[in-house]
A and B are shown apart, each in its own frame.
Chain A
């Protein structure tokens, strides 16, 4: 962690020492580089005020931080913003956003607010906060690079502040049990220093395609300097192999950068986010904002989108609890100065839950809990005849700030879901990720829906599919890496989605898969992969046997469901005949009892029906999901094997090249020898890269399989609990029915 922080900020060699220094440096830099932009603001007296508390704070022993455990989470939440500090001045500006950090460094309007606040307050709490942040800064810089872990790390560092100050790198780096470690250690230091930057560039490539960035942006100029600033992105280290992993660090970097643009733009912030904290802040210090506004007047309208994007990307890398906390943190400082004391108090209050959350987080380790729920609703048949298709309402409910709104709904047709899967599996599959598969296209079921009217089997089909789609999406967004994918976000958010690649091809997907499977089987037979890792061998066998068992279970549950439905039907007809018997009966009491019986049976029919649905949706569908998922797991094993194969091929190729070299040497052909040598070098590089690829994929697969199994257990448990609750409820309902009926029966005589 800290290693990278040390390396990443070439401009600030002293970054790890004292924050005061940092701040001063930064200020210096700020005024140097951004003078034209910030002009008067940067020289405002406020900054001076800011530095004072900061220095105080840094003098304060770390014990201060420890005194109040509540502050810990706070530090971790704000930490990641100051994290950017050392890397360059743009990042400094970011600190403005997270106000507390800004106190240490900033020279613009937001700082202004903050500054005044801290000044007025001078409370211990605030100071403590600041210190913690300062401490966290370093750790968070690295955390920024390996985001999902950053939280724990941040926490770690904050719990042991002393170590942090001296050299926080140790605990952090050691903590990362992650393929990334390899990458980091492998990469030359210089490359590491550049990592954030290259990531940044990557991100741009990535993000620019998406609609958020599609608008012409005033930020472009800002981006360019950045690119140039970082020079040549270290593609070798980070480029292709990093893949999805690089995406994690990326958002943060991007955010930092875009925040820069934001700050340079000044005003737009306030304009574009009407309900935002910043607008509040702006309101409390109208004079400053107005100057900024005037400065950037023309800019902000175009920038709106970008700022949103920036905002969205910022939080992309954050886990939800932290987001909330971050909001709290930002909200607090933005309060007007006079109330700053209470604000500080309110800051202290929200901490306990936050702390709990953190602990929870740590417990669950990599099982990131994302605060996002996707529901698929209102299946609707659109069109007629064979051209008809089903459209679903996809509603997302989230507190993740990476999304523009808390709730949003889009309409998607079935092939869009498949399209999403295709995209995801293409992108993430080769890296060893288990991409949750959507339900298969069902010609039979869909034809029924298309042709048939509303009969029970087609509504059942539609309902099952709706549930499957919902679970599929929920799985996707629950996957920490997949959630980051721009396609996922686009799928959830964007109003109109470009029509998924030809549906025909997709419906042929099954066919293609079949071919793939056939070739896989052939390659499996021909290539005897001498498995170096027993774990994978065992797992593969387990997966295969689990697959068979799940299939068996599925068949059993399906037959159970059939019987349940039959029971419900039979109960209904019994109810009918009981009613008839009741009406034919002469004895009034008996007749009444019989018609009561008919009613009871009617209700029971309902219960049986619900039970059948419960069986279907909790077990049958869950098992069907797992059969599909096990296929995906096997797919990830295949990808691993492909990586291995590539590596092996490269090795044998290298061997061949070496042989040719030897031959040439023998034949004494110096001109060709040179070429051969070059080729050998090239292939050697390839071999190492492929080997690394393979190891990376292996590690990912392993991690994913473990995650899958854990999720499986958890999910099963959850399902069983729901099922039992449902069962219990229906049993209690039954008791009620019987109890109501008993006096009726007794009253006959």
Chain B
């Protein structure tokens, strides 16, 4: 993928994999993200600050590039939902993993989004990407309502067209499969989120317990009392490390598999959207064909033209879509594998560290006897 980008996209002057969202600045209700990327030429870096609105602007530009054939067949890298400073429970639920922690997961998600866009053979050619990544001026802060409107209308149409029978078995299969996977991934991500949330709760509870144990310490010279105090203090330390263990387990979960599942589920969404767009084109084309058949001779030529246009568009879309799907399947397996391996390694490390720590505590306790 990357190779391809380099060959074709001289437009983009940065390394796609060097794009980082390094920092997030909070100013009232708006969050500003600092994006750093390395120049292809030389060693310099671009530093730009972007708000979420800028990201929306970018995505909108990507959606609406009419001049690219088969753009509807592209699986657009999904942009995470808008972050909330004072998040309501609903928006937290919508954000899922990205709402956890101190914005790091969210930054990571944005970073992935940008990298995916920059690495995309078609999307990276868009001027907007270059502008977004390199221009020191914020690209258009005007609100783009269209995107939301699009999605809304889509939701209505969806009901009608989602079930439309496909002419191509490949796409029919892909659609069915995507439907199942989307559901499964979503549930899995949600459940995993629950696990993480509980782990965080446990960590907090351990912290409380540890603090409370510290209060049990009784002053006094009495050796019995001192012995008990020692036990309390030590136990408090034990719970402190249990807390640390839990916290890092939860963190690992979020940063690896959590993000992975989240991305996967958003990507499945994106694929579904793409497939839907293609289905819409298919419906359009079928309508055009019917129109041609039904059309009066006077209008036949015009209809024929419309049909032709629709046909080419559909073919383009299908062609791109096929490529995209193939690419996506490879990419997501790789992504999931990375997530799983990273997760496993991190958890293993944490478990080993904790085991070490517990062992030390245990030795101390045994020594106390």
Q: Which residues of A contact B (CB under 8 A)?
A: 542, 546, 549, 552-553, 556-557, 559-560, 563-564, 566-567, 570-571, 573-574, 576-578, 580-581, 584-587, 589-590, 593, 597, 706, 709-710, 712-713, 716-717, 720-721, 724-725, 727-728, 731-732, 734-735, 738-739, 741-742, 745-746, 748-749
Contacts and interface: CB of A to CB of B under 8 A. Distances in A.
B228 A567 contact: no
Nearest to A542: B218
A745 B344 contact: yes
Contacts of A584: 177, 180-181, 184
Contacts of A593: 337, 340
Contact of A563 (B192, B202, B358): B202
23 contacts: A549-B215, A553-B212, A566-B198, A567-B195, A570-B195, A574-B194, A580-B188, A581-B181, A586-B329, A590-B333, A712-B228, A713-B224, A716-B235, A717-B368, A720-B238, A721-B366, A724-B361, A724-B365, A728-B355, A728-B362, A731-B351, A738-B347, A745-B343
A749 B341 CA distance: 11
Closest 7 CB pairs of A and B: A748-B337, A745-B340, A574-B191, A560-B205, A731-B355, A567-B198, A738-B348
A742 B343 CA distance: 9
B345 interface: yes
A724 B361 CA distance: 8
B194 A710 contact: no
Contact of B358 (A586, A587, A590, A727): A727
Interface string B164-187: 000000000000010011001101
Contacts, number: 151
A553 B216 contact: yes
A552 B199 CA distance: 22
Nearest to B200: A563
Given A574-B191, A721-B362, A553 B209 contact: yes
B341 A742 contact: yes
Nearest to B196: A570
Contacts of B181: 581, 584-585
A713 B229 CA distance: 9
B201 interface: yes
A713 B340 contact: no
A580 B368 CA distance: 49
B348 A742 contact: yes
Contacts of A746: 337, 341
Interface in B304-363: 329, 333-334, 336-337, 340-341, 343-345, 347-348, 351-352, 354-355, 358-359, 361-362
B191 A745 contact: no
Contact of A549 (B177, B212, B235, B369): B212
Contacts of B180: 584
Given A709-B224, A710-B224, A563 B348 contact: no
Given A560-B202, A720-B238, A721-B362, A748 B195 contact: no
B365 to A, nearest CB: 5
Given A577-B191, A748-B336, A557 B358 contact: no
Contacts of B340: 593, 597, 745, 748
B58 to A, nearest CB: 31
A578 B336 CA distance: 13
Given A580-B184, A728-B358, A556 B227 contact: no
Contacts of B369: 717, 721
A746 B340 CA distance: 8
Contacts of A738: 344, 347-348, 351
B354 to A, nearest CB: 5
A721 B365 contact: yes
Contacts of B362: 721, 724-725, 728
A742 B342 CA distance: 9
Contacts of B209: 553, 556-557, 560
Interface string B201-224: 110011011001101101000001
Contacts of B336: 590, 748
A741 B191 contact: no
Contacts of B358: 724, 727-728, 731
A556 B365 contact: no
Nearest to B215: A549
B217 to A, nearest CB: 10
Contacts of A553: 209, 212-213, 216
A721 B205 CA distance: 21
B242 interface: yes
Contacts of B198: 563, 566-567, 570
A713 B228 contact: yes
Contacts of B354: 731
B368 A571 contact: no
A713 B201 contact: no
B91 to A, nearest CB: 22
B289 interface: no
